[in-house]
């Protein structure tokens, strides 16, 4: 077996199951899960229809590169969403459909990391756990940048020493962040592109929450937006990852894309050809329908706004919790140990959250997730309100 497998830590939800495994919650209260970030809003009916209308494509082998219609729909969406000038994103060279960002982030790391070098994969801390596992199994060393409240829950990139940038092969960004919901500002994106040029590393921007924001008049920027403002039409060293899971409430479709630097996309396509992960044709055609429609995405944001408004009205008087820049998470400060809080809340109120320390790594004696919990506002509005009310009651009795 690959000895690197022994370096993998238990996934956060395995730790959570172990924490709660022997706890008996209040029998008179139904379970409400705010733990797993799985969208629960209704999937768009027109996407399901597009899938059903093309079930005859089950008899067709899909290509790894994907249908031109899908790549074109993705490119046009990127132009509209991130103000990328028309023609910059060549559907043949800059865009690759993938089976969701989780699979793609892992595979991308295997393809990009040069095992011959003593390389680092740099990521925020706390972080989406795939970044770490992908780095370890690619033979690289994970390097964690703390995301602390005093820096807006973003890494302090100015504090990163040159020695780290010199060894960096991939810099993972997550904006809006999981679990913090923080956005990486445009000026910071531009600064990081300059650093990538100086030290020759790849920026891999995980933007799967990019469509969950609050101000309809000011969609948050992404890495492609920064490239557009810089006139960087080749997207050199810049690659973005997007998904229909959160944007369109289609986590089971397993559909997303990677876009950016053609000199990186080309060998990644070669890797994927051997990897055997082509998206089924009927899924691609359903994805075309999803990327071409924004009405359902706006309705999705409206539902999350309503949940944030209601839950924060209940919790802010009793808890240190703020509205994030985006995503569907709350990154709340709790009294005492976050794991103890999670266990006691589950026992008393049958509400499940995730300890922040389970989503982070301790570096130099500090775990930036300690003393916080992540709450995913994915349940229906009434359930989110009930969970918040139970949490308020729980806090008032501590």
CA distances to 11, 105, 332, 361 from 129, rounded to whole Å, are: 7, 11, 19, 10
CB-hemisphere CA count at 13 Å for 174?
A: 24
The model's pTM: 0.97
Per-10-residue mean pLDDT, the chain, length 398: 93 96 93 95 97 96 97 98 97 97 97 94 97 97 98 98 98 98 98 98 98 96 98 98 98 98 98 95 98 98 98 98 97 97 98 98 97 97 98 93
Listed residue (246, 281, 256, 245) closest to 105, CA to CA? 256
User: What dihedral angle (degrees, nearest 10) is formed by the CA atoms of 290, 294, 295, 299?
Assistant: 90
| The pLDDT of residue 397 | 86
Q: Which long-range contacts (CB under 8 A, 24 or more apart) does 185-192 make?
A: 185/154, 185/221, 186/221, 186/225, 186/226, 186/229, 188/154, 188/157, 189/221, 189/222, 189/223, 189/225, 189/226, 190/226, 190/229, 190/230, 191/157, 192/157
Segment 247-293, tens digit of pLDDT: 999 999 999 999 999 999 999 999 999 999 999 999 999 999 999 99
| The pLDDT of residue 398 | 78
Burial class for 187, CB neighbours closer than 10 Å (0-12, 13-18, 19+): exposed
Residue 85 to residue 231: CA distance in whole angstroms: 9
Tell me which H or E stretch contains 394. Answer: helix 381-396
The fraction of the chain above a pLDDT of 70, given in percent, is 100
Q: Is 238 helix (H, G, I), strand (E, B) or coil?
A: strand
Segment 220-238, tens digit of pLDDT: 999 999 999 999 999 999 9
Q: Is 37 helix (H, G, I), strand (E, B) or coil?
A: coil
| The pLDDT of residue 116 | 86
| The pLDDT of residue 150 | 96
């Amino acid at each position: 077996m690959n000895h690197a497998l022994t370096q993998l830590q238990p996934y956060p939800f395995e730790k959570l199951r172990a924490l709660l495994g022997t706890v008996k919650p209040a029998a008179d209260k139904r379970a409400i899960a705010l733990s797993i970030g799985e969208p629960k809003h209704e999937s768009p009916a027109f996407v399901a229809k597009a899938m059903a209308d093309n079930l005859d494509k089950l008899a067709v082998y899909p290509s790894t590169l994907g249908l031109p219609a899908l790549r074109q729909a993705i490119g046009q969406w990127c132009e509209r969403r991130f103000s990328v000038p028309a023609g910059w994103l060549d559907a043949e060279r800059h865009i690759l459909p993938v089976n969701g960002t989780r699979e793609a982030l892992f595979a991308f790391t295997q393809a990009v990391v040069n095992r011959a070098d003593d390389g680092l994969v740099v990521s925020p801390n706390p972080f989406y756990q795939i970044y770490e596992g992908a780095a370890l199994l690619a033979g690289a060393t994970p390097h964690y940048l703390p995301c602390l409240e005093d820096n807006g829950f973003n890494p302090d990139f100015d504090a990163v020493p040159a020695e780290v940038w010199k060894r960096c092969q991939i810099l993972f960004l997550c904006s809006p962040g999981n679990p913090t919901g923080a956005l990486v500002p445009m000026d910071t994106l531009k600064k990081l592109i300059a650093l990538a040029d100086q030290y020759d590393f790849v920026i891999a921007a995980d933007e799967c929450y990019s469509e969950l924001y609050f101000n309809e008049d000011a969609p948050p920027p992404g890495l492609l937006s920064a490239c557009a403002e810089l006139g960087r039409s080749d997207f050199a060293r810049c690659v973005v990852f997007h998904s229909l899971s959160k944007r369109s409430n289609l986590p089971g479709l397993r559909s997303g894309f990677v876009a950016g630097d053609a000199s990186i996309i080309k060998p990644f396509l070669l890797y994927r050809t051997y990897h055997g992960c082509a998206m089924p044709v009927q899924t691609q055609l359903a994805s075309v329908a999803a990327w071409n429609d924004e009405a359902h995405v706006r309705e999705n944001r409206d539902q999350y706004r309503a949940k944030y408004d209601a839950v924060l009205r209940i919790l802010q008087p009793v808890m240190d919790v703020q509205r994030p820049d985006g995503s569907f998470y709350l990154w709340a400060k709790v009294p005492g140990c976050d794991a103890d809080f999670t266990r006691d809340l589950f026992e008393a109120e049958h509400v499940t959250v995730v300890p922040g320390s389970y989503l982070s790594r301790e570096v130099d004696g500090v775990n930036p997730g300690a003393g916080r919990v992540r709450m995913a506002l994915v349940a229906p509005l009434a359930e989110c309100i009930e969970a918040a009310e139970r949490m308020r009651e729980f806090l008032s009795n501590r």
